[in-house]
C-alpha cells in the first residue's frame, strides 16, 4: 500500500468568506469563550487559505486547519511503509501542547473559573506552560508555572518571555501526580491555598487534554491521509496525545496500529515518561497501545540531528525518539502509511543537544589560522 505525494497534497480547500458564516468546529469553540470585549465583529477575516487571522486563537489546529504532514524522504529504511511527520511545532506556541492548553482554557472560561484576577497555575515540563501562558496572556489572565529544574534553560527563559511566573523545583522531568512535594502537588497547593488567585487545570488528569486530540489531531490525520493511515507513532507524557488520537483513529479503523515510543531509564527528554513510570499516567489507556518500544534515550538526540541534516526537519528530541521507533517498525511491518507526531522542534533544546553531541559545541568548531 504505497501512497504518493500527490495523493496527500490533494485536499479540499475551504474558502472562508466570513468568520461567522463559516466557522469550523475549533473556531466555534474558541469564539465562544473569548471575553465579549475581545470578540471580533462580523467583519472579522479568518482565512486559512490566505493565512490572515483575527487572533492566534483562530490559528489553532482543526480538521480544516491541520498541522502539516511531511514525508520522510531520505531516511526511511523501508519505502514500502511511507512515513509522514506531523509537524506540531507549526502551532502558534510551538508544540503539540497548544491543543490541550486551548481545550483546558476553554473549559476554564466556560465554567467561569478564570478571570482578570484569578489566573492559572500549572505544573509543566515547559511546553504546556508555554501554550497556557501565551494564550492566557493574550486574554489578560496571569499564569504561574511550576517546572522541574532539569528542563532546558531555553524553556525557562521562554516561559518568562511569554509572561509566566516561574517556580523551579527539584522534581523528576515528567512530574508524578500525587507524589510528595513534586511540582504537580505544588501547583495544587497554590490553588488550594489561594483559590481566589489560582485555578489548576492539571493536564495530567484533565480529560480536556484527551478530548483535544480526539476532536482535532485524530480527525486531521484521518482526513490528511484520506483514511489510509496504518500506523500511528506517539510518545507518552501525560498520554493525552496518544489516548485521544488513537481513540479517534481506532474508531475509524480498529486495525490501525498504535506504537508508543519511550526513552530508556535515566533519560532527559522533557515531556516524556519512562515505561516504568507509566502507571502514574491517569490518561493512559493501555488497550489502545499495540506496541510499546523502549529506546536508548541518547538516540533521541542523534536522530533529531539526522532529521535536521537530512530531511530539513528541525525536529526536537521527542520527535527523534519517535522517528527511531518508526524506523524499527517500518523494517518489521514493511507495508503501510505511518504518521509520527513530531511534538516540537529543536530550537528549545540547543543546550541539551550540545550536552549529548559535544561535536556541536561552538568550541568544537576548528579555528581559522591567523
Ligand X SMILES: Cc1ncc(COP(=O)(O)O)c(C=O)c1O
Catalytic residues: 97, 318
| Count of residues touching ligand X (by CB under 6 A) | 20
Task: Name the minimum Å distance from CB 278 to ligand X.
Answer: 10
Binding region for ligand X (CB under 6 A) out of 8-16, 26-34, 43-51, 124-132: 124-132
The enclosing H or E element of 130 equals helix 127-139
Task: Name the minimum Å distance from CB 97 to ligand X.
Answer: 6
By CB atoms closer than 10 A (0-12, 13-18, 19+), residue 328 is: middle
Polymer length of the chain = 370
Collapsing DSSP to helix, strand or coil, 122 comes out as strand
* Neighbouring residues of 344: CB distance < 8 A, sequence distance ≥ 6: 88, 89, 94, 95, 96, 127, 316, 318, 319
**Which DSSP string do the residues of 305-326 spell out, in sequence order?**
HHHHHHT---B-HHHHHHHHHH
299-338 footprint of ligand X as x/- string (CB under 6 A): -----------------x-x--------------------
Binding region for ligand X (CB under 6 A) out of 13-21, 130-138, 249-257, 267-275: 267-275
Q: Is 343 in the site for ligand X (CB under 6 A)?
A: yes
Cβ 347 vs Cβ 291: under 8 Å: no
Q: Is 288 in the site for ligand X (CB under 6 A)?
A: no
Task: Name the minimum Å distance from CB 88 to ligand X.
Answer: 8
Collapsing DSSP to helix, strand or coil, 258 comes out as strand
- State which of residues 8, 187, 236, 288 lies at the interface with ligand X (CB under 6 A): 236
Task: Name the minimum Å distance from CB 125 to ligand X.
Answer: 6
- Residues forming the site for ligand X (CB under 6 A): 95, 97, 125, 127-128, 235-242, 270-272, 316, 318, 343-344
Amino acid at each position: 500500500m504505497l501512497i504518493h505525494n500527490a495523493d496527500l497534497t490533494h485536499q479540499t480547500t475551504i474558502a472562508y468568506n466570513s468568520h461567522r458564516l463559516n466557522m469550523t468546529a475549533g473556531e466555534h469553540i474558541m469564539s465562544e469563550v473569548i471575553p465579549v470585549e475581545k470578540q471580533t465583529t462580523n467583519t472579522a477575516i479568518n482565512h486559512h487559505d490566505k493565512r490572515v487571522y483575527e487572533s492566534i486563537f483562530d490559528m489553532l489546529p482543526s480538521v480544516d486547519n491541520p498541522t502539516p504532514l511531511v514525508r520522510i524522504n531520505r531516511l526511511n529504511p523501508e519505502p514500502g511503509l511511507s512515513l509522514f511527520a506531523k509537524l506540531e511545532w507549526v502551532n502558534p506556541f510551538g508544540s503539540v501542547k497548544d491543543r490541550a492548553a486551548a481545550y483546558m482554557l476553554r473549559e476554564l472560561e466556560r465554567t467561569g473559573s478564570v478571570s482578570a484576577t484569578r489566573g492559572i497555575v500549572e505544573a509543566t515540563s515547559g511546553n504546556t506552560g508555554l501554550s497556557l501562558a501565551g494564550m492566557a496572556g493574550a486574554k489578560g489572565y496571569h499564569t504561574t508555572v511550576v517546572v522541574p529544574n532539569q528542563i532546558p534553560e531555553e524553556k525557562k527563559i521562554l516561559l518568562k518571555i511569554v509572561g509566566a511566573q516561574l517556580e523551579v523545583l527539584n522534581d523528576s522531568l515528567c512530574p508524578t501526580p500525587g507524589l510528595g512535594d513534586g511540582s504537580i502537588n505544588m501547583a495544587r497547593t497554590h490553588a488550594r491555598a489561594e483559590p481566589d488567585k489560582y485555578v489548576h487545570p492539571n493536564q495530567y488528569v484533565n480529560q480536556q487534554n484527551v478530548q483535544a486530540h480526539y476532536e482535532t489531531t485524530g480527525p486531521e490525520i484521518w482526513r490528511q491521509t484520506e483514511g489510509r493511515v496504518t500506523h500511528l507513532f506517539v510518545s507518552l507524557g501525560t498520554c493525552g496525545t496518544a489516548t485521544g488520537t488513537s481513540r479517534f483513529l481506532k474508531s475509524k479503523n480498529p486495525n490501525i496500529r498504535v506504537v508508543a515510543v519511550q526513552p530508556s531509564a535515566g533519560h532527559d527528554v522533557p515531556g516524556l515518561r519512562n515505561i516504568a513510570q507509566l502507571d502514574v499516567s491517569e490518561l493512559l489507556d493501555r488497550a489502545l497501545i499495540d506496541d510499546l518500544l523502549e529506546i536508548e534515550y541518547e538516540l533521541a538526540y542523534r536522530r533529531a540531528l539526522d532529521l535536521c541534516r537530512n530531511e530539513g526537519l528541525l525536529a526536537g528530541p521527542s520527535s527523534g525518539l519517535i522517528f527511531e521507533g518508526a524506523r524499527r517498525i517500518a523494517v518489521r511491518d514493511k507495508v503501510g502509511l505511518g504518521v509520527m507526531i513530531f511534538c516540537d522542534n529543536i530550537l528549545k533544546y540547543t543546550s541539551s543537544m550540545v550536552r549529548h553531541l559535544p561535536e556541536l559545541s561552538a568550541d568544537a568548531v576548528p579555528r581559522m589560522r591567523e
